Structure 1
Amino acid sequence: MKKIGVIVGSPRREGNSGRLTNQAVKGVVDAGGEVLLYVLREQNLSPCLEIYGCEKNGQCVIQDDFQQICLQLTGCQAFILSSPIFFYTVSAHTKIFMDRFQSRWVKKYWLDKKPFNHTENQKKGLFISAGASHGKKLFDGALLTVRYFFDTLDT
Protein backbone atom coordinates (compact mmCIF):
# COMPACT_ATOMS: atom_id res chain seq x y z
CA MET A 1 0.00 0.00 0.00
CA LYS A 2 1.36 3.43 -0.95
CA LYS A 3 1.58 6.12 1.69
CA ILE A 4 0.99 9.64 0.36
CA GLY A 5 1.85 12.79 2.31
CA VAL A 6 -0.66 15.54 1.56
CA ILE A 7 0.20 19.14 2.45
CA VAL A 8 -2.68 21.62 2.24
CA GLY A 9 -1.48 25.23 2.14
CA SER A 10 -4.76 27.09 1.76
CA PRO A 11 -5.74 29.53 4.51
CA ARG A 12 -9.43 28.82 3.72
CA ARG A 13 -11.21 25.64 4.76
CA GLU A 14 -13.28 25.26 1.59
CA GLY A 15 -11.10 27.07 -0.91
CA ASN A 16 -10.72 25.97 -4.50
CA SER A 17 -7.30 24.37 -4.08
CA GLY A 18 -8.58 22.58 -0.97
CA ARG A 19 -11.55 21.19 -2.88
CA LEU A 20 -9.28 19.93 -5.65
CA THR A 21 -7.00 18.36 -3.05
CA ASN A 22 -9.95 16.62 -1.40
CA GLN A 23 -10.73 14.96 -4.73
CA ALA A 24 -7.12 13.81 -5.10
CA VAL A 25 -7.19 12.40 -1.55
CA LYS A 26 -10.42 10.56 -2.36
CA GLY A 27 -8.71 9.04 -5.40
CA VAL A 28 -5.76 7.87 -3.30
CA VAL A 29 -8.04 6.31 -0.69
CA ASP A 30 -10.29 4.71 -3.32
CA ALA A 31 -7.19 3.14 -4.89
CA GLY A 32 -6.22 1.62 -1.52
CA GLY A 33 -3.57 4.17 -0.58
CA GLU A 34 -2.89 5.61 2.86
CA VAL A 35 -2.98 9.39 3.32
CA LEU A 36 -1.09 11.49 5.86
CA LEU A 37 -2.89 14.84 5.73
CA TYR A 38 -1.39 18.08 7.04
CA VAL A 39 -3.41 21.28 6.91
CA LEU A 40 -0.77 23.95 7.35
CA ARG A 41 -3.11 26.59 8.82
CA GLU A 42 -3.68 24.17 11.73
CA GLN A 43 0.03 23.54 12.37
CA ASN A 44 2.40 25.45 14.63
CA LEU A 45 5.11 26.37 12.12
CA SER A 46 7.64 29.14 12.55
CA PRO A 47 9.45 30.60 9.57
CA CYS A 48 13.07 29.69 8.86
CA LEU A 49 15.30 31.99 10.92
CA GLU A 50 18.42 31.23 8.87
CA ILE A 51 20.50 30.63 12.00
CA TYR A 52 22.27 27.64 10.40
CA GLY A 53 21.58 25.31 13.30
CA CYS A 54 20.97 22.69 10.61
CA GLU A 55 24.47 22.79 9.13
CA LYS A 56 25.85 20.02 11.37
CA ASN A 57 23.29 17.30 10.63
CA GLY A 58 20.64 18.72 8.29
CA GLN A 59 18.01 18.90 11.03
CA CYS A 60 16.16 22.12 11.81
CA VAL A 61 16.74 23.26 15.40
CA ILE A 62 13.49 25.25 15.69
CA GLN A 63 11.11 23.28 17.89
CA ASP A 64 7.56 23.23 16.54
CA ASP A 65 5.33 20.90 14.49
CA PHE A 66 7.84 20.76 11.62
CA GLN A 67 9.92 17.99 13.21
CA GLN A 68 6.94 15.66 13.62
CA ILE A 69 5.69 16.34 10.10
CA CYS A 70 9.14 15.57 8.66
CA LEU A 71 9.38 12.38 10.67
CA GLN A 72 6.00 11.19 9.42
CA LEU A 73 6.71 12.20 5.81
CA THR A 74 9.85 10.05 5.82
CA GLY A 75 7.81 6.92 5.11
CA CYS A 76 5.81 8.41 2.24
CA GLN A 77 6.30 7.21 -1.31
CA ALA A 78 4.78 10.38 -2.79
CA PHE A 79 3.70 13.90 -1.89
CA ILE A 80 0.79 16.09 -2.84
CA LEU A 81 1.30 19.79 -2.19
CA SER A 82 -1.60 22.18 -2.69
CA SER A 83 -1.79 25.92 -2.45
CA PRO A 84 -3.81 28.75 -3.89
CA ILE A 85 -1.94 31.36 -5.91
CA PHE A 86 -1.21 34.60 -4.06
CA PHE A 87 0.72 37.24 -6.00
CA TYR A 88 1.85 34.65 -8.57
CA THR A 89 3.26 32.21 -6.02
CA VAL A 90 2.17 29.89 -3.20
CA SER A 91 0.37 31.03 -0.04
CA ALA A 92 2.30 32.27 2.99
CA HIS A 93 1.45 29.06 4.89
CA THR A 94 2.92 26.99 2.08
CA LYS A 95 6.01 29.15 1.67
CA ILE A 96 6.82 29.04 5.40
CA PHE A 97 6.56 25.24 5.27
CA MET A 98 8.73 25.05 2.16
CA ASP A 99 11.34 27.42 3.60
CA ARG A 100 11.73 25.22 6.66
CA PHE A 101 13.02 22.51 4.31
CA GLN A 102 16.13 24.63 3.94
CA SER A 103 17.50 22.22 6.55
CA ARG A 104 16.91 19.33 4.14
CA TRP A 105 18.57 21.33 1.36
CA VAL A 106 21.61 21.68 3.63
CA LYS A 107 21.48 17.95 4.32
CA LYS A 108 21.34 17.13 0.61
CA TYR A 109 23.72 19.69 -0.89
CA TRP A 110 26.15 20.61 1.91
CA LEU A 111 26.29 17.31 3.79
CA ASP A 112 25.78 15.08 0.71
CA LYS A 113 23.09 12.97 2.41
CA LYS A 114 19.56 11.95 1.44
CA PRO A 115 16.98 14.48 2.67
CA PHE A 116 14.84 11.78 4.32
CA ASN A 117 17.44 9.02 4.82
CA HIS A 118 15.52 6.88 2.34
CA THR A 119 17.15 4.46 -0.04
CA GLU A 120 14.23 3.75 -2.36
CA ASN A 121 13.83 5.35 -5.75
CA GLN A 122 12.90 8.96 -6.22
CA LYS A 123 9.56 9.89 -4.70
CA LYS A 124 6.66 11.23 -6.77
CA GLY A 125 5.22 14.69 -6.35
CA LEU A 126 2.02 16.42 -7.41
CA PHE A 127 1.27 20.13 -7.10
CA ILE A 128 -2.39 21.20 -7.01
CA SER A 129 -3.25 24.87 -7.29
CA ALA A 130 -5.98 27.32 -8.18
CA GLY A 131 -5.91 31.04 -8.81
CA ALA A 132 -8.51 33.65 -9.66
CA SER A 133 -6.39 36.05 -11.69
CA HIS A 134 -6.12 35.76 -15.43
CA GLY A 135 -3.00 35.54 -17.49
CA LYS A 136 -0.73 33.00 -19.08
CA LYS A 137 1.93 33.32 -16.37
CA LEU A 138 -0.33 32.99 -13.33
CA PHE A 139 1.26 29.73 -12.18
CA ASP A 140 4.84 30.30 -13.39
CA GLY A 141 6.23 31.62 -10.10
CA ALA A 142 4.61 28.87 -8.03
CA LEU A 143 5.72 26.15 -10.44
CA LEU A 144 9.34 27.26 -10.27
CA THR A 145 9.24 27.41 -6.47
CA VAL A 146 7.57 24.00 -6.18
CA ARG A 147 9.96 22.45 -8.69
CA TYR A 148 12.97 23.42 -6.54
CA PHE A 149 11.18 22.39 -3.35
CA PHE A 150 10.44 18.93 -4.80
CA ASP A 151 14.05 18.67 -6.00
CA THR A 152 15.24 19.18 -2.43
CA LEU A 153 13.02 16.27 -1.36
CA ASP A 154 14.23 13.99 -4.19
CA THR A 155 10.73 14.25 -5.65
Structure 2
Amino acid sequence: MKKVTVIWSSPNTEGLTASAKNQIMKGLEEAGAQVEEIHLNEKKLEHCRACANGWGTCNKTGTCVIRDDFSGIYQSLANADGIVWISAVYWSDMTECFKAFFDRLRRCDATRNHSLAEKRCMLIACAGGTGRGTLECLTQMERGLTHMGMRAYDRIPVVRFNREYMLPALYTAGKAYAACLENGFDMYY
Protein backbone atom coordinates (compact mmCIF):
# COMPACT_ATOMS: atom_id res chain seq x y z
CA MET A 1 0.00 0.00 0.00
CA LYS A 2 1.46 3.34 -1.07
CA LYS A 3 1.35 6.38 1.19
CA VAL A 4 0.08 9.65 -0.29
CA THR A 5 0.18 12.98 1.49
CA VAL A 6 -2.52 15.42 0.44
CA ILE A 7 -1.39 18.91 1.40
CA TRP A 8 -3.85 21.73 0.87
CA SER A 9 -4.50 25.34 1.69
CA SER A 10 -7.69 27.34 1.87
CA PRO A 11 -9.25 29.15 4.81
CA ASN A 12 -12.67 27.96 3.61
CA THR A 13 -13.15 24.37 4.79
CA GLU A 14 -16.51 24.15 2.99
CA GLY A 15 -15.51 25.67 -0.35
CA LEU A 16 -14.33 24.55 -3.76
CA THR A 17 -10.78 23.70 -2.64
CA ALA A 18 -12.07 21.52 0.21
CA SER A 19 -14.47 19.78 -2.20
CA ALA A 20 -11.61 19.10 -4.60
CA LYS A 21 -9.50 17.73 -1.74
CA ASN A 22 -12.36 15.46 -0.62
CA GLN A 23 -12.83 14.02 -4.12
CA ILE A 24 -9.16 13.29 -4.77
CA MET A 25 -8.83 11.70 -1.32
CA LYS A 26 -11.90 9.54 -1.92
CA GLY A 27 -10.39 8.22 -5.17
CA LEU A 28 -6.99 7.60 -3.55
CA GLU A 29 -8.49 5.75 -0.59
CA GLU A 30 -10.81 3.62 -2.74
CA ALA A 31 -7.78 2.61 -4.82
CA GLY A 32 -6.06 1.41 -1.66
CA ALA A 33 -3.67 4.26 -0.91
CA GLN A 34 -2.91 5.21 2.67
CA VAL A 35 -3.76 8.93 2.74
CA GLU A 36 -2.53 11.58 5.14
CA GLU A 37 -4.24 14.98 4.95
CA ILE A 38 -2.38 18.14 5.93
CA HIS A 39 -4.38 21.37 6.04
CA LEU A 40 -1.78 24.14 6.09
CA ASN A 41 -4.24 26.76 7.36
CA GLU A 42 -4.60 24.78 10.60
CA LYS A 43 -0.85 24.59 11.19
CA LYS A 44 1.47 27.03 12.91
CA LEU A 45 3.75 28.17 10.08
CA GLU A 46 5.91 31.25 9.96
CA HIS A 47 7.47 32.91 6.94
CA CYS A 48 11.13 32.33 6.09
CA ARG A 49 13.39 34.77 7.90
CA ALA A 50 16.20 34.54 5.33
CA CYS A 51 18.59 34.30 8.27
CA ALA A 52 22.40 34.38 8.05
CA ASN A 53 22.48 36.59 4.96
CA GLY A 54 19.79 34.53 3.29
CA TRP A 55 21.19 31.03 3.77
CA GLY A 56 21.09 29.87 7.35
CA THR A 57 20.78 26.33 8.62
CA CYS A 58 18.57 25.42 5.65
CA ASN A 59 21.66 25.57 3.43
CA LYS A 60 24.08 24.06 5.95
CA THR A 61 22.03 21.29 7.55
CA GLY A 62 18.74 21.12 5.65
CA THR A 63 16.79 22.24 8.70
CA CYS A 64 15.01 25.45 9.60
CA VAL A 65 15.70 27.45 12.77
CA ILE A 66 12.01 28.33 13.21
CA ARG A 67 10.27 26.04 15.71
CA ASP A 68 6.76 25.55 14.37
CA ASP A 69 4.93 22.79 12.45
CA PHE A 70 7.22 22.94 9.42
CA SER A 71 9.61 20.10 10.27
CA GLY A 72 6.80 17.62 11.00
CA ILE A 73 5.08 18.40 7.71
CA TYR A 74 8.38 18.15 5.85
CA GLN A 75 8.99 14.71 7.37
CA SER A 76 5.51 13.56 6.29
CA LEU A 77 6.23 14.65 2.72
CA ALA A 78 9.62 12.92 2.75
CA ASN A 79 8.00 9.68 3.96
CA ALA A 80 5.25 9.76 1.34
CA ASP A 81 5.35 7.81 -1.91
CA GLY A 82 3.27 10.49 -3.61
CA ILE A 83 2.12 14.03 -2.88
CA VAL A 84 -1.00 15.89 -3.95
CA TRP A 85 -0.62 19.68 -3.71
CA ILE A 86 -3.90 21.64 -3.62
CA SER A 87 -4.27 25.39 -3.25
CA ALA A 88 -6.99 27.94 -3.57
CA VAL A 89 -6.01 30.60 -6.11
CA TYR A 90 -5.40 34.14 -4.93
CA TRP A 91 -4.24 36.73 -7.46
CA SER A 92 -3.16 33.97 -9.89
CA ASP A 93 -0.99 32.32 -7.23
CA MET A 94 -1.05 29.93 -4.28
CA THR A 95 -2.46 31.07 -0.95
CA GLU A 96 -0.11 33.04 1.27
CA CYS A 97 -0.04 30.16 3.75
CA PHE A 98 0.94 27.73 0.98
CA LYS A 99 3.66 30.05 -0.33
CA ALA A 100 5.14 30.54 3.15
CA PHE A 101 5.44 26.78 3.61
CA PHE A 102 6.63 26.17 0.05
CA ASP A 103 9.40 28.79 0.31
CA ARG A 104 10.85 27.16 3.41
CA LEU A 105 10.49 23.68 1.97
CA ARG A 106 12.32 24.68 -1.19
CA ARG A 107 15.22 26.16 0.79
CA CYS A 108 15.71 23.02 2.90
CA ASP A 109 15.14 20.42 0.22
CA ALA A 110 16.55 21.93 -2.97
CA THR A 111 19.80 23.11 -1.43
CA ARG A 112 20.65 20.29 0.94
CA ASN A 113 18.39 17.30 1.65
CA HIS A 114 16.92 16.30 -1.71
CA SER A 115 14.41 14.11 0.20
CA LEU A 116 11.63 14.97 -2.24
CA ALA A 117 13.58 14.55 -5.49
CA GLU A 118 11.94 12.25 -8.06
CA LYS A 119 8.58 12.16 -6.26
CA ARG A 120 5.72 12.30 -8.73
CA CYS A 121 3.07 14.76 -7.64
CA MET A 122 -0.39 15.93 -8.58
CA LEU A 123 -1.08 19.67 -8.66
CA ILE A 124 -4.57 21.11 -8.21
CA ALA A 125 -5.47 24.81 -8.27
CA CYS A 126 -9.00 25.88 -7.33
CA ALA A 127 -10.46 29.30 -8.19
CA GLY A 128 -13.84 30.54 -7.11
CA GLY A 129 -13.66 33.83 -9.00
CA THR A 130 -13.15 34.12 -12.74
CA GLY A 131 -10.86 31.10 -12.83
CA ARG A 132 -8.31 32.86 -14.99
CA GLY A 133 -5.56 32.48 -12.39
CA THR A 134 -5.56 28.69 -12.15
CA LEU A 135 -3.03 28.08 -14.91
CA GLU A 136 -0.62 30.66 -13.52
CA CYS A 137 -0.98 29.13 -10.07
CA LEU A 138 -0.26 25.64 -11.42
CA THR A 139 2.79 27.00 -13.22
CA GLN A 140 4.11 28.54 -9.99
CA MET A 141 3.54 25.28 -8.12
CA GLU A 142 5.35 23.27 -10.77
CA ARG A 143 8.24 25.72 -10.86
CA GLY A 144 8.75 25.14 -7.14
CA LEU A 145 8.56 21.37 -7.55
CA THR A 146 11.16 21.52 -10.30
CA HIS A 147 13.60 23.32 -7.98
CA MET A 148 13.30 20.36 -5.61
CA GLY A 149 13.57 17.73 -8.34
CA MET A 150 9.95 16.56 -8.08
CA ARG A 151 7.87 15.85 -11.15
CA ALA A 152 4.27 16.73 -11.88
CA TYR A 153 2.19 13.72 -12.87
CA ASP A 154 -0.87 15.86 -13.53
CA ARG A 155 -1.98 19.49 -13.27
CA ILE A 156 -5.67 20.07 -12.71
CA PRO A 157 -7.45 23.46 -12.74
CA VAL A 158 -10.81 23.53 -10.97
CA VAL A 159 -13.03 26.60 -11.24
CA ARG A 160 -16.56 27.32 -10.18
CA PHE A 161 -17.68 27.02 -13.82
CA ASN A 162 -16.32 23.47 -14.27
CA ARG A 163 -16.85 22.06 -10.78
CA GLU A 164 -19.78 19.85 -11.86
CA TYR A 165 -17.57 17.73 -14.09
CA MET A 166 -14.15 18.36 -12.51
CA LEU A 167 -15.02 17.15 -9.02
CA PRO A 168 -16.02 13.68 -10.30
CA ALA A 169 -12.91 13.76 -12.53
CA LEU A 170 -10.76 14.35 -9.42
CA TYR A 171 -12.17 11.17 -7.88
CA THR A 172 -11.11 9.26 -11.00
CA ALA A 173 -7.74 11.05 -11.08
CA GLY A 174 -7.09 9.98 -7.48
CA LYS A 175 -7.73 6.35 -8.38
CA ALA A 176 -5.47 6.58 -11.43
CA TYR A 177 -2.67 8.26 -9.46
CA ALA A 178 -2.81 5.60 -6.73
CA ALA A 179 -2.63 2.87 -9.36
CA CYS A 180 0.42 4.49 -10.99
CA LEU A 181 2.16 4.82 -7.63
CA GLU A 182 1.50 1.14 -6.97
CA ASN A 183 2.23 -0.29 -10.43
CA GLY A 184 4.62 2.23 -11.93
CA PHE A 185 4.25 5.05 -14.40
CA ASP A 186 4.10 4.16 -18.09
CA MET A 187 6.09 7.20 -19.13
CA TYR A 188 8.54 9.71 -17.73
CA TYR A 189 6.73 12.55 -15.93
Describe how 1:1-155 pairs up with structure 2 within 5 A: 1-51=1-51, 52-53=55-56, 54-101=58-105, 102-107=107-112, 114-116=113-115, 122-134=118-130, 137-155=132-150
TM-score (normalizing by structure 1) = 0.85
Q: Contact (CA 8 Å) 1:18, 1:82: kept in 2 or not?
A: no
Q: Contact (CA 8 Å) 1:11, 1:93: kept in 2 or not?
A: no
Paired residue secondary structure (1:105): helix
Deviation of residue 50 (structure 1)? 0.9
Paired residue secondary structure (1:83): strand
Q: What one-letter code is carried by the residue in structure 2 that aligns with 1:125?
A: C
- For this pair of structures, how many residues does the alignment match? 145
Deviation of residue 139 (structure 1)? 2.0
Specify every segment of 5 or more residues in structure 2 that has no aligned partner in the other structure, as ranges.
151-189
Superposed CA offset, 1:80-128 (max 9, x none): 1111111111111111111111221221xxxxxx52177xxx2111111
More helix as a share of residues: 2
Deviation of residue 15 (structure 1)? 1.4
Name the CA shift for 1:82/1:68 in 2 (closer, same or farther; >3 Å).
same
Q: What one-letter code is carried by the residue in structure 2 that aligns with 1:140?
A: L
Paired residue secondary structure (1:96): helix
- CA distance in structure 2 between the aligned counterparts of 1:34 and 1:141, rounded to whole angstroms: 30
- CA distance in structure 2 between the aligned counterparts of 1:64 and 1:90, rounded to whole angstroms: 21
RMSD of the TM alignment (CA)?
Answer: 1.7
- CA distance in structure 2 between the aligned counterparts of 1:59 and 1:89, rounded to whole angstroms: 26
Paired residue secondary structure (1:99): helix
TM superposition outliers: structure 1 runs of 4+ over 3 Å: none
Superposed CA offset, 1:26-56 (max 9, x none): 1111111011111011101011111122121
Larger displacement relative to structure 2 (21-30 or 123-132): 123-132
